[in-house]
């Protein structure tokens, strides 16, 4: 069977299109949802989370971000529709966060649950997400803490100076005491050495007596006879 050039080109184009579709599918990390349900989460700030971002329950991937929309009102909110795979269940008391994979990694939705006392979320149920800590808020908090510390140091500068002055006096007194002790030890060096010799001899005598009593325990019951002089006394 002869295939003309037009047919060959058509087959080639179709094959290239299929390959590009597969590559795009893999690069986007798309997944075909085989069963599952939707859960809605509302945030005031989602910190750049995009559709198809992973959803993880206590670290385990259980779904994807299906859609993102803005709910207008007195305070605008961002609502995410989460697609939860299969029979995965999300506890009602779970906390939902915007998380990072590493310091500058991909954004994802993290769900943290400790217990299931309140049951599980139903299809379409709405959860209020925990707001992510923004870099601006962290800088503002650090600035506030720094200003508070500086204010305390300024207000208590006199007390701090007195503390350091007292510490210097204490260190001088300790240096004087150390010098005095060293001087006394130098002056009485021979007395100290003699005392240490006596203590050492006493320790040796005690060890010898203990060893002798272990060998001859009857000596504890032995009462030496008194001499004639001792009897006269």
pLDDT digits (tens, 9 = 90+) for 68-114: 999 888 888 899 999 999 888 888 888 998 888 765 668 899 999 88
pTM for the whole thing?
Answer: 0.45
pLDDT digits (tens, 9 = 90+) for 9-36: 777 778 888 888 777 766 555 454 458 8
Confidence of residue 66 (pLDDT cuts 50, 70, 90): very high
Write down the pLDDT at residue 33. Answer: 47
Per domain, the residue ranges of the chain are 36-131, 138-181, 188-233
Confidence of residue 62 (pLDDT cuts 50, 70, 90): very high
The residues near 71 (Cβ < 8 Å, ≥ 6 apart) are 42, 77, 78, 79
Alpha helices in 71-188 (DSSP H): 135-155, 157-187
pLDDT digits (tens, 9 = 90+) for 127-181: 888 876 555 566 667 778 888 888 888 888 888 888 888 888 888 888 888 888 8
Distance of CA 134 to the CA centre of its chain: 20
Write down the pLDDT at residue 41. Answer: 92
What is the edge-to-edge ordering of all strands in the sheet holding 36-43? Answer: 95-100, 107-112, 54-57, 60-71, 77-85, 36-43, 126-128
């Amino acid at each position: 069977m002869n295939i003309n050039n037009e047919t060959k080109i058509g087959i080639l184009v179709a094959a290239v299109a299929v390959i590009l579709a597969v590559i795009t599918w893999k690069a986007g990390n798309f997944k075909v949802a085989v069963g599952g349900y939707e859960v809605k989460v509302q945030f005031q700030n989602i910190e750049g989370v995009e559709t198809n971002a992973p959803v993880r329950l206590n670290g385990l991937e259980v779904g994807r971000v299906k859609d993102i929309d803005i709910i207008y009102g007195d305070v605008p909110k961002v609502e995410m529709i989460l697609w939860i795979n299969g029979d995965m269940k999300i506890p009602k008391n779970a906390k939902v966060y915007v998380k990072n994979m590493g310091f500058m990694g991909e954004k994802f939705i993290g769900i943290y649950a400790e217990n299931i006392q309140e049951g599980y979320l139903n299809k379409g149920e709405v959860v209020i997400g925990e707001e992510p800590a923004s870099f601006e808020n962290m800088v503002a908090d650090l600035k506030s803490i720094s200003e508070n510390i500086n204010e305390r140091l300024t207000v208590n500068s006199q007390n701090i100076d007195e503390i350091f002055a007292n510490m210097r006096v204490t260190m001088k007194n300790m240096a004087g005491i150390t010098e005095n002790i060293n001087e006394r030890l130098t002056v009485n060096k021979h007395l100290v050495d003699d005392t240490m010799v006596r203590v050492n001899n006493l320790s040796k005598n005690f060890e010898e007596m203990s060893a002798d009593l272990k060998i001859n325990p009857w000596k504890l019951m032995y009462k030496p006879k008194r001499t004639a002089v001792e009897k006269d006394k």
